[in-house]
Amino acid sequence: TNRIFSGIQPSGDLHLGNYLGAIRRFVPLQDTHECIYCVVDMHAITVWQDPEELRRATRELTAAYLAAGIDPKRSIIFNQSRVHQHAELAWVFNCVARIGWMNRMTQFKDKAGKNSENVSLGLLAYPSLMAADILVYKATHVPVGDDQKQHLELTRDIAAKFNNDYAASIRAEGLEPEFFPLTEPLIAGPATRIMSLRDGSKKMSKSDPSDQSRISLLDDADAISKKIKRATTDPEPLPSEVEGLKGRAEADNLVGIYAALADRTKAEVLAEYGGQGWGVFKPALADLAVAVLAPMADEMRRLLADPATIDGILAEGAERARPIAQATMKDVRRIVGFIG
């Protein structure tokens, strides 16, 4: 069977990049795969989160999943901390993975910066927990943004090393030699990396201190329009061909956002807007963004008005996820040699 797992951290305001690069892509996969979509609250606390804010962000992300069209009857939606097997398997993986592997992760280097001695141990071990999230369900595919590819490769390395280190025990227990699958990425279409509105060389991110750098999923029409109008650009008009976007990171980003929101290619967008200035293109982009995002924001607000229902959906999702995770951990305990 084909099983998908993916997760997003409730670590701040969800933004257009999270939507176009992740959430929106989760929806059609429900037609072809068994899907597990997680709110990875344990990942979020690798950097300090205010507890009340963590609860708010957990509900907001759940509301975004639902408003985008993820159906909690067909797919499993839950928050990670509720299914304890994630943490349990992550510990085993901490003992399988090597510190050197973790030190090589570019996201760790970016997030830790120069201060790498004084970030949480959890931030370094993050990919090990991510591997546990995926492999505790033996997921075959993970839809990831291009920024998460390196972590998924590490997940495969951990699976392979576990299968190899414990090969004799896996055989003795009568289990499949490829006990953990080598999970494949699901390659995304174009515009999977949305860049900051202030700086075309940085990705749009929840943790960017500038609110102007991102379009948040709960921004109202006015805020969306203002942010797009103020977005950094060069003074040149739009080129007529995709080639002309080379070396123009900001222009490339805005055209990419338009294309993704309109479900068209950049070439098609440029065929329409090539030669036009920003005074024409930015208002058109703002209108399009509002048309796509406003209905979703309305639905998110409606859902968030009733937090008990959201919490109930997460609880039910966890009830469905847990037996799958328990079955894997039961085997893992025997494979590793734990009694009981």
The binding site for ligand AQP (CB under 6 A) comprises: 8-9, 11-12, 17-18, 21-22, 144-145, 147-148, 192-194, 203-207
279 is in an annotated binding site: no
Between 72 and 145, whose beta carbon lies closer to ligand AQP?
Answer: 145
- Segments of 75-164 assigned E as strands: 76-79, 141-143
Whether residue 80 is annotated as binding a ligand: the answer is no
Contact between 44 and 10 (Cβ < 8 Å): yes
Q: Amino acid identity, residue 106?
A: T
| Whether 227 is catalytic | no
In the complex, the smallest distance separating the C-beta of residue 188 from ligand AQP, rounded to whole angstroms, is: 9
Q: Is 113 annotated as a binding residue?
A: no
Contact 77, 68 (CB under 8 A): no
Residue 74's closest CA among 111, 26, 127?
A: 26
Partner residues linked to 8 by β-bridges: 39
Please indicate whether residue 203 is annotated as part of the active site: yes
Residue 27: which residues within 8 A CB-CB, separation 6 or more? 68, 69, 70
- Catalytic residue selected from 138, 206, 266, 282: 206
Distance in Å, CB of 267 to ligand AQP, minimum: 20
Half-sphere exposure of 97 (CA within 13 A, CB side): 30
Whole-number minimum distance, CB 237 to ligand AQP, in Å? Answer: 26
In the complex, least distance from residue 258 CB atom to ligand AQP, rounded to whole angstroms? 15
147 in a labelled binding site: yes
> Closer to ligand AQP at the Cβ: 86 or 206?
206
Nearer to ligand AQP, 158 or 335 (CB): 158
Q: What are the phi and psi torsion angles at 142 (to 5°)?
A: -130, 120
Give the whole-angstrom CA distance, residue 216 versus residue 12.
10
Catalytic residue among 203, 227, 266, 282: 203
- Please give the Cα distance from 56 to 179 (Å, whole number): 37
Is 240 annotated in some ligand binding site?
no
Indicate the residue among 120 and 207 with the shorter CB distance to ligand AQP: 207
Collapsing DSSP states into helix, strand and coil, what is residue 42? helix
Residues annotated as part of the active site: 111, 203, 206
Annotated binding site: 9-11, 17-18, 133, 145-147, 194, 203-207
